[in-house]
């Protein structure tokens, strides 16, 4: 987020307005009246729920056999998964292979047949357009390749974060204006311009959760914290 400050012209205009008020009062012969200018500093927060518009799931494929059988089984399962995803409307660009490992299936106390076997594992990150697509994928995989393919670690990633930031930011500024107005009224003053705004948000933290956390990825809010400095004028004398 950035930091906004009033321009020198705006500050000069505010000062000129104070002088004009004093001069007008003196010219009208209404008793000398002084105007004091102060600054209110207000802290507010705006929050919006992170919508569950899409789902990011982990698809794991594991196959064991005597080479090259383990690879052939895994490749067949992979092709089945891709076919299912295409039928569900998921484009290939939303399927990303994140890891591939090949290791001995048995290391200690193995029979002769088990010693000859290897296990092939691959993991995919799949971005699904809707929650319903995730449910459909679970059902299709269970019926097609239940012994080789598993689906888990369902996450709800942050979509269009900049739009959420703008919405939360506006909410925080609206709250700031309401709070400053209430404070000025309670003190018998009136508000002038916002002379400075400083804001921060938790977007980076939410994006980090998308990459590394499953436990903090469900009910979430994008929060914008705003500190504002607002002019307040008070007539006395």
CATH class in words for 3-51+160-236: alpha beta
Beta strands 190-201 and 3-5: pairing type? antiparallel
Q: What is the pTM of this model?
A: 0.58
Which of the residue ranges 1-5, 61-65, 98-102 would you say has the lowest mean pLDDT? 1-5
pLDDT of residue 5: 33
Beta strands 149-155 and 190-201: pairing type? unpaired
Beta strands 221-236 and 190-201: pairing type? antiparallel
pLDDT digits (tens, 9 = 90+) for 143-192: 666 578 988 878 888 888 999 999 999 999 999 999 999 999 998 899 99
Is residue 185 packed enough to be buried (19+ CB in 10 Å), middle (13-18) or exposed (0-12)?
Answer: exposed
Is it the case that residue 216 has pLDDT exceeding 70? no
Q: What is the pLDDT of the chain when averaged over all its residues? A: 82
CATH class in words for 55-155: alpha beta
Q: List the chain domain ranges.
A: 3-51+160-236, 55-155
Which of the residue ranges 15-24, 162-171, 188-197, 212-221 would you say has the lowest mean pLDDT? 15-24
């Amino acid at each position: 987020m950035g930091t906004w400050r009033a321009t020198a012209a705006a500050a000069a205009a505010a000062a000129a307005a104070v002088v004009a008020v004093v001069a007008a009062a003196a010219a009208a012969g209404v008793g000398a009246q002084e105007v004091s200018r102060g600054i209110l500093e207000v802290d507010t927060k705006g929050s919006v729920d992170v919508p569950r518009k899409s789902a990011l799931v982990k698809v794991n494929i594991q196959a064991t056999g005597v080479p090259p059988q383990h690879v052939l089984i895994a490749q067949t399962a992979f092709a089945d998964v891709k076919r299912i995803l295409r039928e569900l409307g998921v484009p290939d660009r939303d399927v990303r292979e994140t890891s591939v490992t090949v290791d001995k299936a048995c290391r200690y106390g193995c029979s002769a047949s088990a010693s000859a076997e290897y296990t092939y594992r691959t993991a995919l990150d799949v971005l699904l357009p809707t929650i319903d697509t995730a449910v459909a994928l679970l059902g299709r995989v269970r019926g097609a390749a239940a012994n080789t393919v598993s689906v888990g670690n369902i996450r709800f990633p942050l979509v269009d974060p900049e739009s959420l930031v703008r919405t939360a930011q506006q909410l925080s500024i609206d709250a700031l204006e309401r709070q400053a107005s209430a404070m000025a009224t309670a003190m018998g003053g009136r508000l002038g311009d916002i002379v400075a705004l400083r804001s921060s948000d938790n977007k980076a933290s939410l994006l980090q959760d998308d990459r590394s956390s499953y436990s903090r990825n469900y009910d979430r809010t994008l929060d914008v914290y705003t500190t504002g400095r607002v002019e307040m004028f008070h007539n006395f004398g």
